[in-house]
Amino acid sequence: MKASAFVYPWDVNGDPGAPARIAGLGVGQVTLAAAYHSTRALTPRHPRHRIVTAEYAAVLYPPGGRWAGRGLRPYPAGRWAPGNAYGEAADALAAAGLEVHTWVVLAHNSRLGAEHPDISVVNAYGDRYPWAPCIAQPATRAYLVDLAAEAAVRPGAHGTELESLGWYGLAHLHAHDKTAGVGLGEAGQYLMSLCFCPSCRVGYGAHGLDADELAAAVRTALEPLWRGAADDEGWPTVDRLLGADTAAATRAWRDTTAHTLQEEAVTAVRAAAPAGFQVLLHADPVSYHCGANAGVDPARILSVADGVVVPCTGGTAPLAPFAAHAGERTVLAANLTVVAGMGGGPGTLAADAARARARGATELRLYHAGLASDGDLEAVREALAAR
């Protein structure tokens, strides 16, 4: 199985040994961040630093002229990835014999939401989620589609992986996050992620719902969860709490909004890319799920994209819904965390990869070559050498 390791430009730039070390893992490809959200990252082997703080979501290359005069536009990175950090790292990795694909984070941007609060998801209580741009708003959609095309198709890249191309909701690894005090479960997460911005209110109306009445119904439905009710069967619980017809209407609006955005973005990437350029989405086969692995309709997304990257760490491997619609050349990449300190299992990589393959995986993604310890990387080398 082909394997690719995730890498940040700051893992490579300034460390002459990084490209050979990554190639020495036994991977033939790297998935290199070209547009990324804010983060604080460890760099345990870098000769000049140990912690990199990316202060806001940014593109890691100089943004192009298409953004002139536009209100929503990507931010260039600061000192953590100056200039064309992506390009510098890509060149070094390619020189080590690695095939470079871009890693592009889209609908996850706290600075954009802070500076343009009207674009953010608004929950049923009126709270804004600045990290989550609402993908129903026309200006936001135009921004995301253009960002996907520009950040994905960098010079020399052979393909791209698009992350967060869909709804982002309540769940978010925010700085000093304090949101786990009440176990909302899957149903509560969905209800707290429903958006009530002006675009979504119009969208609900087109599906026969009054937005004010829906918001009140969502608040009522959430009350037992705030008091600690543990009943959560996923979508059946949403059906019960909102009523099946109302729940279905909210999902119809959100599914259509996400699916059409995904199709527009993939089309824009293909239009900008050379022939043979691979387009994958970080995806979840449950269409109403929010987050980095965007909820998709497996049949629909595999009709437009070349494949998907699916989280498979910890024994979970939701590959079957995608495998059921895969063609001969479809890429189903199992994303496995290989950083022990982040809950990954570098020591069980061979077994985890075998299980993923049995469930339909055609490739592996290893998260993350820059964050892993030396021991983690040695376990990865051993596992890949034994393939």
Q: Rounded to an integer, what distance in angstroms lies between the CA atom of residue 116 and that of residue 137?
A: 12
Range of the domain at 269: 2-180+257-385
Residue 316 has pLDDT above 80, yes or no: no
Q: How many CB atoms lie within 10 A of CB 126?
A: 8
Confidence of residue 256 (pLDDT cuts 50, 70, 90): very high
Does residue 20 lie in a domain region? yes
Count how many Cα atoms sit within 13 Å of the Cα of residue 33 in the half-sphere of its side chain: 28
Distances (CA, A) of 359 to 1, 130, 301, 366: 13, 37, 19, 17
Does residue 269 lie in a domain region? yes
**Phi and psi angles of residue 360, each rounded to the nearest 5 degrees, phi first:** 120, -5
Does residue 311 lie in a domain region? yes
Does residue 224 lie in a domain region? no
Residue 196 per-residue DSSP state: -
**Structure-token pair, residue 10:** 């700051």
Q: Is 42 within 8 Å of 371 (Cβ atoms)?
A: yes
Distances (CA, A) of 208 to 163, 192, 202: 31, 21, 10
Does residue 125 lie in a domain region? yes
Q: Which of 279, 334, 284 is nearest to 151 (CA)?
A: 279
Residue 172 has pLDDT above 90, yes or no: no
Residue 126 makes CB contacts below 8 A (sequence gap 6+) with 196
pLDDT at 174: 64
Does residue 102 lie in a domain region? yes
**Structure-token pair, residue 160:** 């791209």
**pLDDT tens across 328-385, in order?**
999 999 999 999 999 999 999 999 999 999 999 999 999 999 999 999 999 999 999 9
Residue 106 has pLDDT above 90, yes or no: yes
pLDDT at 317: 75
Does residue 189 lie in a domain region? no
Beta bridge partners of 39: 54
Q: Which of 319, 385, 372, 314 is nearest to 348 (CA)?
A: 314
Q: What CATH number is associated with residue 290?
A: 3.20.20.80
**Structure-token pair, residue 142:** 């135009």
Number of compact structural domains in the chain: 1
**pLDDT tens across 187-236, in order?**
999 999 999 999 999 999 999 999 999 999 999 999 988 887 767 888 99
Does residue 147 lie in a domain region? yes
Place of tokens 């996907």: 148
Q: What is the CA radius of gyration of the chain?
A: 21
**pLDDT tens across 20-56, in order?**
999 999 999 999 999 999 999 999 999 999 999 999 9
